[in-house]
Structure 1
């Protein structure tokens, strides 16, 4: 059979019992059927080149994509932007406050994936897919939960798809993750091909190291003259991109005309990127730029969220653009995010709280909390 159920037993991982360091080892995916009657269910598709073995998705790499479909329960009691993964306890996960899956199924072939994607697009009344590409130190569960949170909190109309490349899911696995991000390029391109073959458009959202995967794929699509795919990309949003500034400039120059809007969330208080910069012997990454002029020759919108703290489980301020309740509130109220995928937020300068600067081709928005206006 092409479809196979993923059960509580096959996906309940013991990672939660391991010690936390910094952002910590993320508890992996839990399937709790009764959660379907508690939280708000988000249908999330997963495309991954992680090996599935011993009843769980591993950090090991495979040279092909597999496809799954999950119902993720967004709990009713939580702060906007917060993602608290369900934990295996004697009494079970707290379904009122923690993210879990209520069901999961292997889809089998790419044809099954396309058919399921099309059916969900019809149900939602959309012709667009939102792909979320996770960053460093991510498990299949943490990536699916974050995809559900972004789709739910930002009220995005597109079908949510999580591209789960093989991160080690370990705070000490940075070198492995950087290599895996390079390994993940071709399969992300294959995923884009499948979505376009399904007759759907694309919005790319990525975090941290996942942003580098996006830039590399856009670059190789341009080199391969794949306008059939590039023309179907309706926008790119990079949260805290962990990319060397010179590398980004080279990628963007080779891509040429960037998909629009092209939005980059930055923060000079991003401690994870400060560490990453030190590892590479440099001062800054794209996600914590202090001087927007270094990318001013590209048609990008920088949204600086330095004034905001990251939300729950974001002590390093590495995902403030999506985890900070205040940032989410601003983007909901000002752009309602849906329209920001269709037109550059820089076209709404009178609505965004903060300072807006235009520098050559780039726009920088220095976002400030609402109560400071």
Structure 2
């Protein structure tokens, strides 16, 4: 009974409704003529449903496709409006196009073509991995929203792992994370084989555990792969035990650089997760950079931008999006020169051995005017 109450509190903290139908969305070609079309490559190990989309069940087979997501004309940074079964292209995110691909070879070929066709400065891949309690469409729309709001100079790819998509499905989601490691490894190797200029990995919440576990198993088999293959890692509000992260990170020959971690002391979802998991804190509400002092990581504290129920401050705060977008377009996360990185954004900078902590504040917006 206590755990059920805690899970319901977690639902409230993440602002997720258990009533809305988040599993279905019509294909609306006309939406492409109304909004801004953002193509998103998708790989998922969810079980396909008869209607063509995907369930919460786990599959040992990966499905591949490219979706065209229409960003509505009324879109405001940090917001996703979902009309579910009846979207209005003027106000809601919508799926305008869908192209299915024939397995790994078809996916690789399509991704390679997209890379070659892109402008020279956009021949990069940004992979987004969703977190706990996400439907297939939640993750796809979030990928499109982040790409659009930050004007990410990369081809977006989304990995949709089989979340229960229910506030009481935390244990199922944790097991799905472990189930999905091999599928994500397969995808990462395919991204590398497509020969982009750079690969950036972005994971949110429980998706950060999936990413770290997968990279750890690759490193055990092929030491140094992550540093050779990747150009940056971004962990957003990681729902990950701090001790576990340290053990995972120590198995890397070298952590990919840059390695950015967005944290907030006001993240209630992570505070509840810590209680459910019997821990004092999660990585995403880290308070003391000393805990990660042995690792070359950049910790970005966005607590002052966090709303009461925000578990995705980086993607939902218009003020933070504005600040980061105007600061060399997220170079704080994608700059390779560690010595100069902390100077790209104004803020309180703390250096603890190898780790750098940057505390951001809304007051910094005034310095950009």
Contact 1:185 1:213 in 2 (8 A): yes
Please report the RMSD computed on the Cα atoms of aligned residues, expressed in angstroms: 1.9
Q: Which residue is equivalent to 1:250? A: 247
Summarize the Cα distance change of 1:137–1:131 in structure 2 as closer, same or farther, 3 Å threshold: same
The offset of 1:108, in angstroms, is: 2.0
Contact 1:192 1:229 in 2 (8 A): no
The offset of 1:319, in angstroms, is: 0.3
Which has the larger share of helix?
A: 2
Alignment of 1:187-206 (within 5 A): 187-200=183-196, 201-206=198-203
Q: Which residue is equivalent to 1:366? A: 359
The offset of 1:53, in angstroms, is: 1.7
Is residue 2:17 matched to residue 1:24? yes
Q: Which moved more, 1:225-234 or 1:354-363?
A: 225-234
Alignment of 1:89-168 (within 5 A): 92-125=86-119, 126-168=122-164
Q: Which residue is equivalent to 1:58? A: 55
Mapped to 2, the partners of 1:98 and 1:117 lie a distance apart of: 27
Q: Which moved more, 1:43-52 or 1:97-106?
A: 97-106
Q: Which moved more, 1:296-305 or 1:25-34?
A: 25-34
Is residue 2:348 matched to residue 1:355? yes
Contact 2:37 2:68 in 1 (8 A): yes
**Which residues of structure 2 form unaligned runs of 5+?**
1-10
Contact 1:81 1:323 in 2 (8 A): yes
2:322 aligned residue (315, 323, 329): 329
Summarize the Cα distance change of 1:152–1:87 in structure 2 as closer, same or farther, 3 Å threshold: same
**Which residues of structure 1 form unaligned runs of 5+?**
1-19
Secondary structure at the counterpart of residue 171 of structure 2: helix
The offset of 1:185, in angstroms, is: 0.8
Secondary structure at the counterpart of residue 353 of structure 1: coil
Mapped to 1, the partners of 2:321 and 2:180 lie a distance apart of: 29
The offset of 1:122, in angstroms, is: 2.1
Is residue 2:274 matched to residue 1:277? yes
Mapped to 2, the partners of 1:306 and 1:340 lie a distance apart of: 17
Contact 1:234 1:260 in 2 (8 A): yes
Is residue 2:258 matched to residue 1:261? yes
Contact 1:196 1:229 in 2 (8 A): no
The offset of 1:28, in angstroms, is: 3.4
Is residue 2:334 matched to residue 1:341? yes
Q: Which residue is equivalent to 2:5? A: none
Is residue 2:167 matched to residue 1:171? yes
- Give the TM-score taking structure 2 as reference length: 0.89
Q: Which residue is equivalent to 1:224? A: 221
Deviations for 1:36-59, whole angstroms, at most 9, x for unmatched residues? 011111110110100002213011
The offset of 1:158, in angstroms, is: 1.5
Secondary structure at the counterpart of residue 151 of structure 1: helix
Mapped to 2, the partners of 1:276 and 1:372 lie a distance apart of: 35
Deviations for 1:73-95, whole angstroms, at most 9, x for unmatched residues? 1112122121122233xxx3222
Summarize the Cα distance change of 1:229–1:328 in structure 2 as closer, same or farther, 3 Å threshold: same
Secondary structure at the counterpart of residue 363 of structure 1: strand
Count of aligned positions: 347
Secondary structure at the counterpart of residue 326 of structure 2: helix
Contact 2:224 2:254 in 1 (8 A): no
Mapped to 2, the partners of 1:194 and 1:330 lie a distance apart of: 34
The offset of 1:119, in angstroms, is: 1.6
Secondary structure at the counterpart of residue 56 of structure 2: strand
Is residue 2:25 matched to residue 1:46? no
Mapped to 1, the partners of 2:313 and 2:174 lie a distance apart of: 22
Contact 1:35 1:101 in 2 (8 A): yes
Q: Which residue is equivalent to 2:207? A: 210
Q: Which residue is equivalent to 2:3? A: none
